[in-house]
Structure 1
Amino acid sequence: MINNFVLSYVFAFSGYFMTDQVQEIKDHNDIVEIIGGYLTLKKAGINYKANCPFHSEKTPSFMINPERQSYKCFGCGEGGDVITFVEKMEGLDFYNALKLLAEKAGITLKSNSIQHGASVHSADKKTRLFEINEWAAKVYNKLLTDHPKAEAARKYLDKRGLSADTIKNFNIGYAPDSWDFMLRFLISKKYTEAEAVEAGVAIRSEKGKIYDRFRGRVMFPISNPMGTTVAFTARILEIPGKDTDPSAGGGAKYLNSSESAIYSKGKIIYGLDRAKMAIKDADLAIMVEGNMDVIACHQAGFKNVVATSGTALTLDQLKILIRYASAIAFCFDTDTAGQTAMKRAVRIALANDITTKIITTAPYKDADEAIKADSNNWSKMVKAAKPSLEYWIGQLVAQSEKLDVDAKKKIAKEILPVIKIIASEIEKEYYIKYLSDVLSVSEQSLIDALSKAKTDAEFSRRNSASEPAKTEQKRLSRPEKILGFVWAEPELAKIISAEIIKFPDKYEPLSGQIKAGKIERDKILSELAADLDGLSMLALKDLDSNDSEIIEIELRYLIGRIKSDEHEQTKSDFAHRISRAETAGDKEMVKKLLKEFSDLIK
């Protein structure tokens, strides 16, 4: 028989560490603070609530219990602790979620393998990709700060008006004009060429040669909401007398990391890790077109600003933003490409019942240019933001030399397909009336034309997943409520230890403890504990107070109701049995049953 000392030694020698460090990391990452970094939370008694990030809903059913350090959604059933939440939000396994939380708390993992419960979790491919991008960001930033060959990059950033603090805060860097600088560095750190390619910092040619993806460029790290670098946007440096290297993205002004296991362009938002708290405070997320616009806004003190990540705006990105704020304002460039992007973004938002506004920077090209001219410009522009479709209609009217019949037909032809995809029937009715007033035509004529209007399949409600999931908060049975109350107040177990209550089988570990009259939470597996946290939150939410005396009164009431129901059921059963005996003419059975019933109710 191997004793515990030997087991501990074997695990230590093998590079495993036990549950104590997992608990240490959880203790240093308050679940309310971590989830509050992703969602807008509202106090609900001793708990917090929010719209669930794991399914579509209008009424919050996602509850967080600070005392238990757990969460539970009563709409879709998701629940767990702070590690589980980060796993699901970031698409990570247990090890990488734990590593992310450890880094946030300033804790160094003692090993690259973790024994937690019955399982051993190890560093995997994603861990290596995170590490590669983090190393690359540090090295690029160091080169920008210190290296003589980064002088052109420093001059470019100075010309763009970026301060040293801003460069440091956004971890901006410089990739030297070398074919293998980063590759050689990563190999020296025991990473492989294949991993460098997979992480997006190197590229494989058609002939199989591997070389640095980014060369002679200013580097802008892209981070996930937890602040970990997952990719880069790189701007080419235009140096007089030097040809742009065509292999570096074909001389593209901007070059982005390729998608990877840790980077999905359509789901990452540039600057969100720095902007999320300001977005929550302002209850408004401002989305601009480029990295420099984001950085200029933050440097000027406007921190609720983000941008897309090397791709056109996606529904996933909008859904992420509305976790933090009730509205999103778009501020895209005033050129044709910018206005086209704006119209596409508005259609996606309207089809999914997301409130949006438009900020216009005219006469300036973009936010960066407007702020450079005068930082007060931006505050005024944000305050002057208009509801998106009102802005769009206003632009079309302004572009018409005169609002004659042809102009009205042209405007209606562009706007009616947009109105048709609006998810909210109230908003749809509002914009029919609004367009009717602007064009001076009857609402009925617009309604008739609306039925014939064609919509782009990309923005139709059928394809936009605009309908929230039809979920209802679970109604607890009386035995489930009793379990919830006892989980909240373990001392109350003694009240029901002698009672005969049939609890659901899945809660047998706790019901067994209740029957024994002693609750030992630490002996309940974490998955079941999270479910019990959910029962507890749901059971307590309708009470006027979570005081133990109030809970005890409610608990005794439930026990009384269960007894009463069982008594009534027994009476009903005897009545049926006596009736059947009378119908059969069995007088002896009738007499016997009447005596049993009389004895029962004494």
Structure 2
Amino acid sequence: MGLIPQSVIEDVLARTDILQTVQQYVSLKRAGNNYKGLCPFHDENSPSFFVHPGMGIYKCFGCSEGGNVIQFLMSIEGWNFPETVRTLAERAGIEIPEESPQQAEAARKRREGKKIYLSIMEAARDFYQEQLWGARGEVARRYLAERGIDEETARTFGLGYAPDGWENTIEALGKKGFKPAWLERAGLAIANDRGGHYDRFRHRVVFPVVDVWGNTLAFGGRALASDGGGAKYINSPETPFYTKGEQLYGLDVAKAAMGKEEQALVVEGNFDVIALHGAGIGVTVAPMGTALTEVQARLLRRFARRVIIAFDGDSAGEEATLRCMGALESAGLEALVVRFDEADDPDTFVRREGADALRARMEAAQPLVAWALDRAIKPVEGATIEARLGALEAVGAILTQVKEPAAWEHYAREVARRLAIEPALLKDYLKRPPERRDQARQAVLKAGQGTRLPSAEYGVLAVLLDQPKWLSDFFREELDKLLSSQELADFLRVVQNHYQAHDGINRPLLLEATPPGGMRETVIAALAEVESQRLYGPEEALRWYRDCVRTLKKAWAVRMDEHLQRELNNVDFRSERERFVQINEQLEQVRQFRKALDLDASSPSSASG
């Protein structure tokens, strides 16, 4: 393609309304002779983006973006300069000379093809609407009334009726000069095996799919017959001028309300959209049976900052909700979710409970990432470490889609807390490529098996969880210094503080205060053992405790004996005689202590009064 003449560029700028163009992307309010709104190029809470129609320019005083309508479209759509000028020229009906006759002919054919296509779709829309409000449309009107859709709402969405029969659309559009082969390429007719054509939409309520510029691009149809004569819903096929993953049903009607409320409600079906609009929820759109695409998410981003997914309550709706996450995160949208009972959908919910009930659910909507993580974690929460590890693949897939580092850290900490996994180990696992996670998995598994304590120390833990009133004597007698595990000593101090603060043991709160990892696993096991030993009375518990304390003392004496013996072996008797004598005396004291413990085995000392 050759250079676009300056005269053509000037003509395009003169014949393009910058206000009308920008309003397709940004909700604007009048401010004197100008218009203002939230900037589409950076996040802000107070509007600093202005459009000056008289001068044909826009300017953001927050991020300094500015220019004419060509620069606006280049920035927001990512188009290059020639692509932008040609798009605006096509909308304004301006011819652009091409570099060669072949290029000129190809461009002319595409323009003519699109012009014919849009004319066909507009003629079909008019025909279907005439049928709905005419004599043949009674059955369709009755069906809409049964669904709670009034005439005003039906006309707002341009609903129509494709009458029963094989060639009604073909004949009606044929009278306007549109050939059956053209209708086939537009998706309105289907070729048969005899060289002829028949209507794609027959005896159906018809929904026109309209882009943000008001062009009818396609149709959806809902069957009225209940005799099994075809699919309940059918849609136009994709064409050179229509890609379903690039459009949102109802956006042409919803965009003004979305811009005002700065939020969108995304539902699954066309009827859901129409019913909710009829109930006064004018921010509703649908992705027309596809998983929400990144293009559709960017469309939403033009008009809203907050997107609420409200798909059907069945398992398919749940899976479809999950698939929306990546596109919404990539678009930088605040994504939330409303879920319904298994047999419910937005349409039936609103008809039964009312629009205010749905709005209340929208206000209380849960963040989509949090919902998805809860869905993965809840079934294994409190289960074995192996079961909890099984949820990590799903958790990893969810967190991979979270692009904001601060949000990722927040959710990773929450996952670590709920799965009782050491945060550092969890992050190591999640940040590794899937094929290199095995080593990190083994580390998580090993850490989650519980802190291995000597039997006497484990016994002390269990009995003090059962009899926390003995903790004050335990620390007063400095029995914590006999423990080989500093982690256990620190935890018992946590238990004492908890007991004093709550005048008892609140197990969920105590576990909440226990860092994820091996000690938490050991505490869970000890609490379970305490519960299973409820048949023991206080006297039995005291005997068990004293036995454990005596064993702790003996274990401490053994460790001290070995430690002092190693020190003694490293002392030079000739140069460090005083140190040698001192260690020998300490060693003798420890050995006397061990003998006393053995002699006293039949009459254990009380460590708690």
Q: Is the 8 A contact 1:221 1:232 kept in 2?
A: yes
Structure 1 position 405 matched with structure 2 position 376:
no
Structure 2 letter corresponding to 1:143: Q
Q: Are 1:365 and 2:344 matched, yes or no? A: yes
CA distance in 1, matches of 2:433, 2:383: 21
* Equivalence map 1:262-341=2 (5 Å): 262-341=241-320
> How many Å apart are 1:175 and its aligned residue?
0.7
Instruction: Calculate the TM-score normalised by the size of structure 2.
Output: 0.59
Q: What SS does the aligned partner of 1:266 have?
A: helix
Asked if structure 2 preserves the Cα contact closer than 8 Å seen for 1:224 and 1:268, the reply is: yes
User: Take 2:292 and 2:318, find their aligned partners in 1: how far apart are those partners?
Assistant: 13
Q: Does 1:414 align with 2:416?
A: no
Which residue of the partner structure matches residue 158 of structure 2?
Answer: 171
What do residues 383-422 of structure 1 show as CA deviations (whole Å, max 9, x unaligned)?
Answer: 1101111112223444458544344223333112221232
For 2:216 and 2:237, the matched residues in 1 are separated by: 14
Q: Quick check: 34-43 or 87-96, which moved more?
A: 87-96
| Larger RCO, structure (CA 8 Å, separation 6 or more) | 1
Instruction: Give the Cα–Cα distance (whole angstroms) in 2 for the partners of residues 63 and 162 of structure 1.
Output: 38
Question: What's the counterpart of residue 327 of structure 2?
Answer: 348
Give 1:446's aligned amino acid.
Answer: L
Q: Percent same amino acid at aligned positions? A: 30
Residues 1:98 and 2:88 aligned together? no
Return the alpha-carbon distance in structure 2 between the equivalents of residues 194 and 86 of structure 1.
Answer: 37
Q: Deviations over 1:265-285 (max 9, x none)?
A: 111110000111111111111
- Going from structure 1 to structure 2, the CA distance change for 1:25 and 1:155 (only over 3 Å counts) comes to farther
Matched, 1:80 2:93: no
Which region of structure 1 is more displaced relative to structure 2, 192-201 or 33-42?
33-42
Q: 1:75 to 1:94 in 2, by over 3 A?
A: closer
The 1:429–1:82 alpha-carbon spacing in structure 2 relative to 1, beyond 3 Å, is closer
**What is the root-mean-square deviation of aligned Cα atoms in Å?**
3.9
- Please list the CA deviations of residues 82-128 of structure 1 after superposition, one character each: whole Å capped at 9, or x if unmatched: 999999799985565137xxxxxxxxxxxxxx678999997611111
Pair 422,94 (structure 1): closer, same or farther in 2 beyond 3 Å: closer
User: What are the within-5 Å matches in structure 2 for residues 537-548 of structure 1?
Assistant: none
Q: Which amino acid aligns with 2:188?
A: V
Q: Deviations over 1:484-507 (max 9, x none)?
A: xxxxxxxxxxxxxxxxxxxxxxxx
What does 1:208-247 align with in structure 2 at a 5 Å threshold?
208-239=195-226, 242=227, 244=229
Q: Greater CA deviation, 85-94 or 205-214? A: 85-94
1:429 match? 409
Within 1, Cα distance between the matches of 2:408 and 2:73? 42
The answer to which structure has the higher helix fraction is 2
In structure 1, what residue type is equivalent to 2:370? E
Amino acid across the alignment from 1:97: R
Q: Return the offset for 1:316.
A: 0.5
Structure number with larger C-alpha Rg: 2
CA distance in 1, matches of 2:269, 2:26: 24
Give 1:44 shift.
11
Does residue 252 of the first structure (1) align with residue 248 of the second (2)?
no
Give the C-alpha shift of residue 33 in structure 1: 4.0
Q: Is the 1:72–1:78 contact (alpha carbons within 8 Å) kept by the matching residues of 2? A: no
Aligned residues: 408
Displacement of 1:438: 2.5
Name 1:391's counterpart in structure 2.
371
Deviation at 1:136, TM superposition (A): 0.9
SS at structure 1 position matched to 2:26:
coil
Conserved? CA contact 2:190–2:200, under 8 Å: yes
Q: Which residue of 1 aligns with 2:179?
A: 192
Contact residue 393 and residue 411 of structure 1 kept, 8 A: no
1:164 to partner: Cα distance: 1.4
Contact 2:86 2:96 survives alignment (8 Å): no
Q: Which amino acid aligns with 1:335?
A: D
**Does 2:128 match 1:133?**
no
Secondary structure at 1:221 match in 2: strand
Give the direction of change, closer, same or farther, for the CA distance of 1:143–1:24 in structure 2 (3 Å limit). Answer: farther
Query: Equivalents in 2 of 1:320, 1:427: separation in Å?
Result: 24
Give the superposition deviation at 1:70.
3.9
SS in 1 for 2:243: coil
Partner of 2:544: none
Question: Residues 547-562 of structure 1 correspond to what in structure 2 (within 5 A)?
Answer: none
The residue type equivalent to 1:218 in the other structure is V
Shift of the alpha carbon at 1:47? Answer: 7.7
For each residue in 1:125-169, what CA deviation from the matched residue of structure 2 results, as whole angstroms up to 9, or x when unmatched? 111111111111111111111123x33322221221111111111
Which amino acid is the alignment partner of residue 138 of structure 1? D
Q: Distance in 2 between matches of 1:169 and 1:25?
A: 32
Amino acid at match of 1:411: A
TM-aligned CA deviation for residue 38 of structure 1: 1.8
**SS of the residue 2:207 aligns to:** strand
Distance 1:185 1:364 in 2: 41
Structure 2 CA distance, aligned partners of 1:82 and 1:420?
A: 32
- Secondary structure at 1:220's aligned position in 2? strand
* Mapped contact 2:336–2:366 kept (Cα < 8 A): yes
Contact 1:289-1:333 within 8 A present in 2 as well: yes
Contact 1:42 1:50 in 2 (8 A): no
After superposition, the C-alpha distances for 1:252-275 in whole angstroms (9 at most, x for unaligned) are: 221111112331111111000011
Conserved in 2, the CA contact under 8 Å of 1:96 and 1:127? no
Amino acid at match of 2:232: K
Q: Which sections of structure 2, spanning at least 5 residues, go unmatched?
A: 1-6, 436-609
Which of 168, 181, 188 pairs up with 1:201?
A: 188
The question of whether the paired residues in 2 share the 8 Å contact of 1:39 and 1:323 is answered with yes
Question: Among 400, 419, 422, which residue is 1:439 paired with?
Answer: 419
Separation of aligned partners in 1, 2:85 and 2:234:
25
Cross-structure match for 2:581: none
Matches of residues 449-528 of structure 1 in structure 2 within 5 Å?
449-452=429-432, 454=434
